[in-house]
Every structure is written in C-alpha cells, then in structure tokens.
Amino acid sequence: MRQKTCVVTGSSKGIGRGIAERFGADGCNVVVNYRSSKSEAEAVVERIEAAGGSAIAVQADVTDQDAVDAMRDRTRETFGPIDVLVNNAGINQDVLFDEMSHEEWDVVLDVHLDGAFHCTQTFYDDLADAESGRLINISSIVGQGGNLGQANYATAKAGIFGFTRTLALELAREGSTSNCVAPGFIATDMVESLPDSIKGKIRDDTPLGRLGTVEEIAEIVAFLASDHSSFITGEVIDANGGKDL
C-alpha cells in the first residue's frame, strides 16, 4: 500500500477516521475529507503525519458536485491521481415512515447515493487508470435487513449494493475492483447517540454481545484496498458480530 493515494469521504470521525488512520499507518497518501468537522479532520491528519504518513484535510460536501471537483483538483495538486476511493460519508435522520417528510427522505439519499455518484464519477478515470484501482463502498446491515425508523437509510444502503456490483462489472474492464463492506452496529457517534436501552438491545441481539469497533472495519477496508484482494470484486463483506439480517 506504500505511496498509494486514497480518498476517504467522511473521515473526520468514526469509521472513516479509522480507515484514514489505517491507510496512513500503511504508508499511503490520505485525503481526509469532511463536511463540517474541520478540527477533527486536522487532528486525523496530524495523527497520520505523526505515524510517518502523508495526509491532507479537504472540506467538501459530497452532495455538491462543484465541491467534489475542487477536492479532486486539490488531491491531484498534492498527490496526483488516486488509487483508492472509499465512499464512507454518511448520515441518518431516523423517523418512522408514516411521519417521514420528503426532506428527511431526500437528505439521507442525497448524502449516501448522490455522494457516491459524485465521488465515484469524479475519480472514475483515476480508478480505471490505476494499476490496481480500488472502489470500496460502506453500506450497512440495515440495507440488508431494514430497521425501524430507517426507511430512508435502509433504502440508501441497499442501493449501494447494486451500485457496488455494477461498478465491479464496469471497472473490471480496466482491471480495477469494486467491493462493499456492510458493518453491523459500530461504536461511533452515529450509534453512541442512541438511547442506552436501544444500545443494550443491539448488544443482546448480536451473538458476539458487543458493538464493533472502527478498527475492525478499517482492517477489512485495508484488505480490500490491498493487492491481497486482487481477485475479489462485486462482493459485500459482512462485519456484524453474527447479527441476524
């Protein structure tokens, strides 16, 4: 992985932070993308640099094509074309479907699906031209099994499966791969903000009896980004502690 250039969307916090820091530890050039958490993104860059890696923090809302274009330009100026894109940026706005507004539906689909569209299309030629380009999308167990109050999120995450498999067919013509990770419940702000009773139920329903860690997801992404995964494409890797879908 040494010297490979990797863009990780939404890597100021949570799973994206873990992936960015893992890439940094592997000697990659890392683009730490964020929307609003500037100081957190800069702290991720500092940790990567302290570990001997190279990184830049780049503000870009993935729902904004112009901002993603500017992120590509900044990336090219600093590191050149990229080898790895991780579509990780995500949000949730949970509400039961009969109370869900169209805005709550749109905003979640925009970040997950339009965000993946903008970033993948913008970096597509880099991934196609790279010696072993890697597209890695972060979906969710919720895209497989649904979840109360998450019709918007589940729909977006299910869409990522079809996106991953189609991009696998298209990028295969260039010798590059597209894969997806479907985490179960991971200890990040997105889950820690849930009431204790719900977190307790998640633990009870998970055979391994705990939330996952960002490091456990980052390890899978690092494998998918590496040459060790060279004959794997179009796959969904589940990492959910054995939780039923």
Stretch that binds ligand NAP, among 59-67, 98-106, 164-172, 221-229 (CB under 6 A): 59-67
Residues 204-233 that bind ligand NAP (CB under 6 A): none
Q: Positive or negative CA dihedral for 221, 65, 113, 190?
A: positive
Question: Is 34 part of the annotated catalytic residue set?
Answer: no
H helix or E strand, kind and range, residue 216: helix 214-225
> Candidates 69-77, 123-131, 186-194, 230-238 — which segment interacts with ligand NAP by CB under 6 A?
186-194
Question: Cβ closer to ligand NAP: 53 or 115?
Answer: 115
Under the criterion CB under 6 A, does residue 140 sit at the interface with ligand NAP?
Answer: yes
- Listed ranges 21-29, 72-80, 98-106, 182-190: which one lies at the site for ligand NAP (CB under 6 A): 182-190
Q: Where are the alpha helices (DSSP H) in 51-205?
A: 65-79, 102-109, 115-129, 141-145, 151-172, 189-192, 196-205
Give me the half-sphere count of Cα atoms (radius 13 Å) on the Cβ side of residue 27: 4
Identify which of residues 14 and 133 has a Cβ nearer to ligand NAP in the complex.
Answer: 14
Which residue shows structure tokens 């923090």? Answer: 57
111 is an interface residue for ligand NAP by CB under 6 A: yes
- Residue 37 is a binding residue for ligand NAP (CB under 6 A): yes
- Residue 103 in the binding site for ligand NAP (CB under 6 A): no
Does residue 71 bind ligand NAP (CB under 6 A)?
no
- Which residue's CB is nearer to ligand NAP, number 21 or number 61? 61
Distance of CA 16 to the CA centre of its chain: 6
Q: Which residue in 84, 100, 82 sits closest to 92, CA to CA? A: 100
Among 79, 153, 163, 185, the one annotated catalytic: 153
Least Å from the CB of residue 131 to ligand NAP: 27
The answer to whether the CB of 183 falls within 8 A of the CB of 138 is yes
**Mutual orientation of helices 38-50 and 14-25 as an angle, nearest 10°?**
20
d(CA 201, CA 197): 6
The residue among 9 and 229 lying less far from ligand NAP, judged by its C-beta, is 9
User: Minimum CB separation from ligand NAP for residue 87, in Å?
Assistant: 8
Asked if 22 touches ligand NAP (CB under 6 A), the answer is no
Asked if 34 touches ligand NAP (CB under 6 A), the answer is yes
Question: Least Å distance between CB 49 and ligand NAP?
Answer: 19
Instruction: Return the bridge partners of 182, or none.
Output: 238
Secondary structure tally for the chain: helices H, strands E: 10, 7
* CA gap 209, 180 in Å, rounded: 24
Residues that bind ligand NAP (CB under 6 A): 9-16, 33-37, 61-63, 88-91, 111, 115, 138, 140, 183, 185-186, 188-191
Q: Where in the sequence numbering do the catalytic residues fall?
A: 153
